Chain A
Amino acid sequence: MLNYVWIGLVLIGVLAAASTDIYDASTNRYRNGEPFELQYDSTSAAGGTISYSREYYDKFYGVDVDSPDTISYRADLTGSSINIYTEEDSPEIWKTVAKTDDNSKLITAKVLSRHGDMMTILLPTTSLVKTKAVLDALISYSELAVKIALGLIGVMAFWLGIMKLAEDSGMIKIIARILKPVMVRIFPDIPPDHPAIGAMIMNMAANMLGLNNAATPLGLKAMEHLESLNPHKGTATNSMITFLAINTAGLTLIPATAIAVRAALGSKDPTIILMTSFFGAGLATIAGIVAAKILQRLKIYRIDDKLDGNQPDSGGSN
């Protein structure tokens, strides 16, 4: 099914980008080639500010923006062109023009005429906005993936080391024994004394405490143990899926990130969401387990025994 999700994301993405660009070109959304009038106030020989009224902007682009009545930018005049610096809160279209122009916040526009304070400029031609954004995303997200993976190496090594210690000493077995009654019900396919149980408990405990750095390595260790019990390499087992359903529900006692953002934005009661998100994630966890248990019985999700023995890539699952 991950196949279909993948195809869906890529195809919907590319189609949406292309159709948005075609639509924008046909309506000339960026008003390519149309002169824009604004006011220029010089504070020095080369620098100053430009400004225009929101009313003019709205009429020019046929939009209705949410911004102050007068919109102004810092700008430098260089000969027959002007450099305009857009800000975080500048109107959307100009931000897009700047980003598509040279992938920064700077717009370099041509000065057509200037009479005293009044200036007429021509913004750079803006087209294929979404297609360019898709191209950028291809590169930046590939790099992000590698960055995330490499960033994991250190913490991963540390926690795998601790886990090995806990396994060699028999600690994991002790932990597993304590929660055995619950785990046997959720994961009936796994022998109760198997180290997979201990590793899964450690992962869930780390998630509950909001220790994301520890949770991933512990979870991956649990996956390795689960894979060692897997007779159909390359195909997910029922236990793996139930385990991941619990993980994707993200049940935690302290949603630290959300609380931190709320506090940073000046909330009077940042931790008010403790209870509500525990409720939400708790329901999600139950739903995940129940869904995994029900879906595993469906015919389309049953493991096909014919697949046995002719895997293209069954190695590397030690």
Chain B
Amino acid sequence: MIKDILQALSIVAIPFIIAAFVAYAARKKVPVYESFVAGAKGGFEVAIKIIPYLVAMLVAIGIFRASGAMEILVKLLAPAANLIGMPPQVVPMALLRPLTGSGSLGLMADIMKRYGPDSFIGILVSTMYGSSETTFYVLAVYFGAVNVYRTRHAVAAGLIADAVGMLGALLICRLLFG
């Protein structure tokens, strides 16, 4: 029930917001068309501006993934994962989630295909996927758009959020599904 409402809401939201914004602007006597075009002009510029940041970030992640370093890391982290009750099959997910959106999506599908989406591992891995965002992509794109390169504690804060999200996913799944 709640789910249906939420899903309907996410479909209706955009057209409604746009209609509301345009109607309100028209009432306030804003030259709607000109104003929209003036804003839209920035789209190209922003997209171009983030390219170097995105290339730098994605290439480094690509090298890391292709090299097989992940498999080595997973083996090294297996004892620690065991200690907190995290199944070894989902450790790559915890490591990959902050790095790549498409990679962790593929990994989630792969793990669920192997163990079944309704198994404990299946539920856990999809919860982990839903509990976080692709941190390094967000950092590269958002900072890139304003040419910020001294990022201070952004990486640390983002990774702490990711780690807590992964552990929170593990905790709630253990509580509810064994």
Which residues of A pack against B, CB within 8 Å?
1-2, 5-6, 9-10, 12-17, 20, 130, 133-134, 136-138, 140-142, 144-146, 148-150, 152-158, 160-171, 209-211, 214, 216-217, 219-220, 223-224, 226-227, 230, 233-236, 240-242, 244-245, 247-250, 252-259, 261-262, 264-277, 279-288, 291-292, 295-296, 298, 301, 303, 307, 313-317
Contact = CB atoms under 8 A, between A and B. Distances in A.
A17 B166 CA distance: 28
B40 A292 contact: no
Contacts of A10: 60, 63-64
Given A248-B133, A249-B165, A258-B129, A209 B123 contact: no
B160 A291 contact: yes
Interface string B146-166: 111111111111101111111
B83 interface: no
Contacts of B155: 1-2, 5
20 contacts: A142-B59, A149-B47, A158-B43, A160-B41, A161-B35, A161-B39, A161-B40, A169-B25, A235-B148, A236-B150, A244-B157, A245-B154, A247-B138, A248-B135, A253-B10, A258-B127, A276-B173, A279-B172, A281-B168, A292-B153
Interface string B1-37: 0010011011001100110111011011010100111
B62 A168 contact: no
Contact of B54 (A140, A145, A301): A145
Contact of B68 (A130, A209, A303): A130
Given A1-B151, A161-B39, A291-B160, A137 B32 contact: no
Say whether chain A's binding surface is mostly helix, strand, loop, or mixed. helix
Nearest to A129: B68
Interface of B: 3, 6-7, 9-10, 13-14, 17-18, 20-22, 24-25, 27-28, 30, 32, 35-44, 46-51, 54-69, 72, 98, 105, 108-109, 112-113, 116-118, 122-123, 126-136, 138-139, 141-143, 145-158, 160-169, 172-173, 176
B127 A164 contact: no
Contacts of A217: 43, 46
